[in-house]
Structure formats: C-alpha cells, structure tokens
Amino acid sequence: MPDKLFIEGSLELDDFVPIGWQLSDALAFLSGKKIIHRDVAARNVLVTKRKMVKLSDFGLCCYAKAEEEYESKEGKLPLKWMAPESIEFGRFSEKSDVWSFGVVLWEMYSFGKSPFESFSHQEILSFLKNGSRLEIPESSPDWIKKIIEECWSEELMKRPEFSGIKREFYRQMEANSTRYGYLHFSKNYYHEEETTKDEDNVI
C-alpha cells in the first residue's frame, strides 16, 4: 500500500485545496490538544481513493509544556521540514509544525519535489538563517504563496495558527465551490456509512 501523498497521476491541481483544508484541520485538532506532530511532511499524508486525507506517522509526536513549547535534541529528525529554531535549538511548538506545513504546501504545488534536495544539513540551517527560503512554485495561487510565506516567517508570532489556516482554506473552497463541485461540509464528512475495503486504500 503506498504511503505518500504523491503517486504519479493520482492527484490534480484542483485536489490540493481540499487536501490542504483537511490537513490543516487535522493539525488544528492536534494543536488544540497541545500535541506537536514534529514530522509534518508530504510522505506522512495519506490520501484515500475518495480523496480523504489521513495524517500518519506519530512516532515523533510530543505534548507541549505549559509554555506550549517542547525542547529536544535527541533522535533523528526531518531537518528539511524543520523550522530554524527546531534545527538550531531543538525547540518545537505549534509554530514549528506550521513551518513544516508550509513545506508540505511547497511539496504539493511543486508536484512532489523534494525540498533542499542538494543541500547538506549545515547548508540548510545557514540558508535559512540568512533569510533565504525555497522558491515558491509558480503553480501556487497568490493566496497559497501568502500562506507559505507566513508559515516561513523567522518570527514565530508572525506565523499563522492552524485554526486560521484552516479557515482560509475553507473560505477558498466555498468561493470556488461551483468550479470544484464541492458541497458544504457536514459533521459526517469524515464518517461515510458505506466504505469498501478497496475504497479505503490510499493512492
């Protein structure tokens, strides 16, 4: 069973908005529970044949402390998706997950390219500390570019919260509902009454 968001020919550009909404909704839920995922990346986003998103790989998850931050320097960590404060100081929070979400959007709109493909770990930190960022894919709508730029803000307080990101994705879906053919989401959106085993397979 594939375990990646991108399998050749399986997704189209129009799929990215509802996928982004579902992913931001899942991360907003975790944030509300004071849980930091710490491994938000396209490889951990599963999509069923009905285009339902499932966030996976909770092996690096942790609970935020009272100050809503977690410090760790142990174990192997996904540097290419990590915020500067996480790489340099081992500090994790909702805002470091937000940074990683920006990288996932970059992966989506670059159609599965790997971030920092030719960079060493040290080069990544130097690149980010200099204020440089990955070039945002041309296929990204302006509002997506804005979200990515905000997610990659050096200052944590300038990064959006997942609740706000989720609202913006929902607003965009509603604005484009005629084009995309989506209806209003109900509380039963995640609970389909009849789902075959094959339909639950990820693509």
In the prediction, which pLDDT does 143 show? 98
- This prediction has a pTM of 0.82
Please check whether residue 132 lies inside any domain of the structure.
yes
Cα distance between residue 147 and residue 101, in whole Å: 10
Clarify whether 3 is annotated catalytic: no
46, β-bridge pairs:
54
Q: How far apart are the first and last CA of the chain?
A: 8
Inter-CA distances, 161 with 28, 34, 66, Å: 8, 13, 18
Residue in this structure with the two tokens 């804005």, named with its chain if needed: 146
Q: Quick check: is 189 in a domain?
A: no
Q: Name the residue range of residue 78's domain.
A: 13-183
Whether residue 4 lies inside any domain: the answer is no
**Blockwise average pLDDT, block size 10, the chain, 203 residues:** 49 91 97 95 92 90 67 73 94 96 97 93 94 97 98 97 97 77 48 43 43
Q: Is residue 36 part of a domain?
A: yes
CA dihedral 70, 148, 14, 164 (to 10 degrees): 60
In a domain, 5, yes or no: no
Q: 73 in a domain, yes or no?
A: yes
Determine which one of 3, 14, 15, 39 is catalytic. 39
Residues 70/36, Cβ–Cβ less than 8 Å: yes
Question: Domain containing 176 — which CATH number?
Answer: 1.10.510.10
Structural domains of the chain, count: 1
